[in-house]
Amino acid sequence: MGKNLEIQTENIKNLIYEIRGKQVMLDSDLANLYNVTTGNLNKAVKRNEGRFPDDFCFELTKAEYDNLMFQNGISSLEKNYGGRRKMPKVYTEQGVAMLASVLKSEVATKVSVTIMRTFVEMWKFISSNILMFEKINLL
């Protein structure tokens, strides 16, 4: 996001993935949106571990990471921003909401509001089209 506080829900939709049956966002994508480093985002979470139970935030397994990269055409995350020592963390809708409270910045608050609206928009779409998805699964 950088200096531009305007982010579109369409852009955010492309950063939401389904892992373990949950809609999640990668720590690196969130850090980019919040205009902080991935390391600083994860340090803030580490300092506030009690606010991030496993259903708010979890680390990907190697298999989940590889599958995410393959299925979504994501280039290697290890090449971005100097590399990773650990597998990426992902944040659920609730984890994203909690991030705004630990990052405590105007940018984090604005970005979190937009992300939350995007999650709600996606849930509405899924809910209103559930019958169609069930029919497709039967094919």
Is the model more confident about 75 or about 88?
A: 88
Looking at the chain, how many residues does it have? 139
pLDDT per position as a tens digit, 18-52: 999 999 999 999 999 888 999 999 999 999 999 99
Domain residue extents for the chain: 9-138
- CATH number for the domain formed by residue range(s) 9-138: 3.10.260
pLDDT exceeds 90 at position 89: yes
pLDDT, one tens digit per residue, over 61-75 is: 999 998 888 877 665
Task: State in Å, rounded, how far the first CA of the chain is from the last one.
Answer: 40
* Of the listed ranges 59-63, 100-104, 108-112, 113-117, the one predicted with least confidence: 108-112
What share of the chain has pLDDT > 90, as a percent? 35
Its sign, for the CA torsion 70, 74, 75, 78, is negative
